[in-house]
Amino acid sequence: MSNAASRPLTASARGPLRGTVTVPGDKSISHRAIMFSALAVGESRIEGLLEGEDVLATAAAMRAMGASVERGDDGTWRVHGVGVGGLQQPAQALDMGNSGTSTRLLMGLVSSHPISATFVGDASLSGRPMGRVIEPLGQMGAEISASPGGRLPLMVRGMCPAVPITYTLPVASAQVKSAVLLAGLNTPGVTRVIEPVPTRDHSERMLRGFGAELTVEDGPEGKIISITGEAELKPQHIVVPGDPSSAGFWMVAASIVPGSEITIANVCMNPTRTGLITALRRMGADIAETNARTVGGEPVADLVVRHAPLKAIEVPADLAPSMIDEYPVLFVAAALAEGRTVARGAHELRVKESDRIAAMRAALTAAGVQTEEFEDGLAIHGSAGAPLPGGGNVATLLDHRIAMSMTVASLAAAQPIAIDDVAPVATSYPDFFETLESLTG
**Digit-coded pLDDT (tens) for 385-396:** 999 999 999 999
pLDDT digits (tens, 9 = 90+) for 185-208: 999 999 999 999 989 999 999 999
Which of 205, 238, 271 finishes a domain?
238
376 catalytic per annotation: no
pLDDT digits (tens, 9 = 90+) for 128-187: 999 999 999 999 999 999 999 999 999 999 999 999 999 999 998 999 999 999 999 999
Give the pLDDT confidence score for residue 321 in this predicted structure.
Answer: 87
Query: For residues 291 and 245, what is the distance between their CA atoms, to the nearest angstrom?
Result: 20
Query: What DSSP designation does 319 have?
Result: G
Pair 246, 24: CB distance under 8 Å: yes
The beta-strand segments (E) located in 135-285 are 143-147, 151-157, 166-168, 190-195, 214-219, 222-228, 237-239, 261-268
Q: Is the pLDDT of residue 368 over 90?
A: yes
Kindly name the residue from 325, 399, 421, 431 that is annotated as catalytic. 325
Binding-site residue set: 27-28, 32, 100, 128, 173, 175, 325, 352, 356, 401
Query: For residues 153 and 166, what is the distance between their CA atoms, to the nearest angstrom?
Result: 28
Indicate whether 20 belongs to any domain. yes
Q: Examine the domain organization and report whether 220 and 366 are in the same domain.
A: no
Q: How many Å separate Cα 146 from the centre of its chain? A: 23
Q: Examine the domain organization and report whether 282 and 402 are in the same domain.
A: yes
Mean pLDDT for 361-368 is 98
Give the pLDDT confidence score for residue 2 in this predicted structure.
Answer: 42
Query: For residues 285 and 176, what is the distance between their CA atoms, to the nearest angstrom?
Result: 33
Q: Examine the domain organization and report whether 359 and 268 are in the same domain.
A: yes
What phi and psi values does residue 14 have, to the nearest 5 degrees?
Answer: -135, -5
Bigger pLDDT: 216 vs 294: 216
Binding-site residue set for phosphoenolpyruvate: 27, 100, 128, 175, 356, 401
Domain that holds residue 377: 9-25+241-440
Q: Is the pLDDT of residue 3 over 50?
A: no
Give the pLDDT confidence score for residue 441 in this predicted structure.
Answer: 83
Q: Is the pLDDT of residue 1 over 80?
A: no
361 CB-contact burial (10 Å; exposed 0-12 / middle 13-18 / buried 19+): buried
Amino acid at 147: S
pTM (two decimals): 0.85
Which of 199, 220, 238 finishes a domain?
238
